[in-house]
Amino acid sequence: MANKLNRREFMAAGAAAITGVAVSDTASIVKAQAPTLALQRGVAPVVIASSNGHRYKNGGDVTCVELAFKMMTDGKDVLDSLIAGVNIVELDPDDTSVGFGGLPNADGVVQLDSSCMHGPKKRAGAVACIEGIRTPSLVAQKVMDLTDHHLLVGKGAQNFAKMMGFKIEDDLNTPRSRRLWMEWKRRTDPEHWLDPEKRLMAGFKAGMSMVADGLIDREHYFGTINCDGINSKGEICGVTTTSGLAWKIPGRVGDSPILGAGLYVEDKIGAAGSTGRGEANLYGLCSFLIVELMRQGKHPKDAGLEALRRIANNTIDKRLRDEKGQPNFQVIFYALNGKGEYAGTSMFPTKYAVCTEKGGELLDTATLFSAWPGRS
């Protein structure tokens, strides 16, 4: 028995008969008359970070990138999610490169730096040389949200944090960070203050000898955490936080709290951040450079490698080059674009952290040089 036509098909069949179109084509006529909806496909969410973003849990069950990704995909603000993630690392005493227990300056004082940028809001905030507060990223966010400024430093930053209700602690050293500082002091020439040049090299050599002895992770000597993310709407944000260069001159500020250096975000275009030798990155404002290169259409990997090449070409000081003429320090970039494409790039081989719908993982960076100085 033939199938009965419903009313809509009957009317289409009638029209088809009048115009000489076969009844068998009525289904295609009905389909053709239906309105076409233009569906825009969303971006696949991703969170990218330095490797400590998927190594430390501060006694919990998730890492920085895992928490940030979950919050972000649950609908939370992207920057709120990223900062909640880096708070795990800032508060973990086992990570000596960030926040509580970060390696102190030459006087044994923990001084912290942080910056954040909110792509959709076109806002940013940062703090530098702040003491006594375990989570400088949260203070940077308050600077962004509640002031007309981008950067507060030193005692002024601490006073601002106190006004915002943050607890001020006398000392952010842990027994471990204090022990490592004492070991550094022991290895440093006791007369290093007499000659600035000798002091600089003595301090650097002492630090590198501690790396060689396994007391400090090589990445933690210049340690930091950068974390960037993009949600399904294509909204991009980023945050960087650090205790800075181990045993630094008191008051030294690296690239982490400087917009365009340690972090740069432009919504719909991309985000980039860095860890490693801050002075090398500051000279070229490389995070800004990477975002600009992505604006021109370069993939995050290609943009990051170009920034590394510029750093290598600008490194002419003999003390910063190995016997091959290559830089003897690490710089790592973490970048993602408005399409959700991402990459970790570095001067020398290392890992970076990523979290997607597949979960958190550590991946190999794309490198400018195949091996660390002194290694074949």
Question: Dihedral of the CA atoms 164, 166, 167, 168 (nearest 10)?
Answer: -80
Residues 6+ apart with CB under 8 A from 115: 124, 125, 126, 127, 140, 151, 239, 240, 241, 256, 257, 258, 259, 262, 263
Type of residue numbered 99: G
Q: Tell me the sheet residues that pair with 274.
A: 333
Give the residue among 152, 71, 154, 150 at the shortest CA–CA distance from 116: 150
Give the residue among 219, 245, 220 at the shortest CA–CA distance from 112: 245
Rounded to an integer, what distance in angstroms lies between the CA atom of residue 86 and that of residue 78? 13
Provide DSSP, 309-376: HHHHHH---GGGB-TTS-BSS-EEEEEEETTS-EEEEESS--EEEEEETTEEEEEEPEESSSS-TT--
96, 224, 241, 275: the catalytic one is 224
Element (H, E) at 240: strand 236-242
318, burial (CB in 10 Å: exposed 0-12, middle 13-18, buried 19+): exposed
| Count of CA atoms in the C-beta half-sphere (13 A) of 228 | 33
Order across the sheet with 342-346: list the strands. 263-266, 270-276, 331-337, 342-346, 366-367
Rounded to an integer, what distance in angstroms lies between the CA atom of residue 180 and that of residue 96? 10
Residues 6+ apart with CB under 8 A from 222: 245, 246, 275, 276, 277, 278, 329, 330
CB 191 within 8 A of CB 204: no
Catalytic: 224?
yes
Helices (DSSP H) in 34-77: which residue ranges?
64-73
* Catalytic residue ranges: 224
